[in-house]
Amino acid sequence: MPKVKELFVNGKTVPVDVDGERTLLSVLRDDLDLTGAKYGCGEGQCGACTVLLDGNPIRSCRTTAAEVGKRKITTIESLEKDGRLHPVQESFLKFDAMQCAYCTNGMIMSAYALLQKSPDPSEAEIIRFMNGNVCRCGVYQRIIAAVKDAAKTLQNK
């Protein structure tokens, strides 16, 4: 099995030394201490493990380290800049759009990706884009409200 020796994570090249068959999720969490992305199902069904690959949300539990190659990985740890939260993070706090918050990483990363592509999404678009993210605590209406609020903030910037 070929080894993967480096990954491009959150704006920098980082050395790793891992079996290419290992999941990106495992490498991020266990080797790089980036534990914001969570294991929820290992099937790509819950979205807790969502990170961005070249700006697109992917399921890192179903992506091997070898598949990633030199593409840009973005994790939730990079959203806060100089002690300031990203508007999506601010809006999630403002609407208390979480309970146990285990899904929150995936929700925020999916919303972040959506707003990069579609700065003013309709409610139907938010639901369609984020429907692969499960909040077992069930606060979907709050998450929708938070995403709309973040869109507004970003547009006014």
**Binding interface with other proteins (CB under 8 A):** 18-19, 21-23, 26, 29-30, 33-43, 45-46, 48, 75-77, 79-80, 85, 89, 92-93, 96, 98-105, 108, 126-127, 130-144
Smallest distance, other proteins to C-beta of residue 147, A: 10
d(CA 8, CA 92): 27
Nearer to other proteins, 85 or 116 (CB): 85
Q: Which one-letter DSSP state was computed for residue 78?
A: G
37, 25 Cβ separation under 8 angstroms: yes
Total number of residues shown for the chain: 157
Host H or E run for residue 15: strand 12-19
Smallest distance, other proteins to C-beta of residue 59, A: 12
φ, ψ (nearest 5 deg) of residue 18: -135, 150
Smallest distance, other proteins to C-beta of residue 118, A: 16
Specify the amino acid at residue 48: A
Nearer to other proteins, 108 or 113 (CB): 108
| 12: its two tokens | 């920098």
Smallest distance, other proteins to C-beta of residue 112, A: 11
75, 22 Cβ separation under 8 angstroms: no
Nearer to other proteins, 44 or 72 (CB): 44
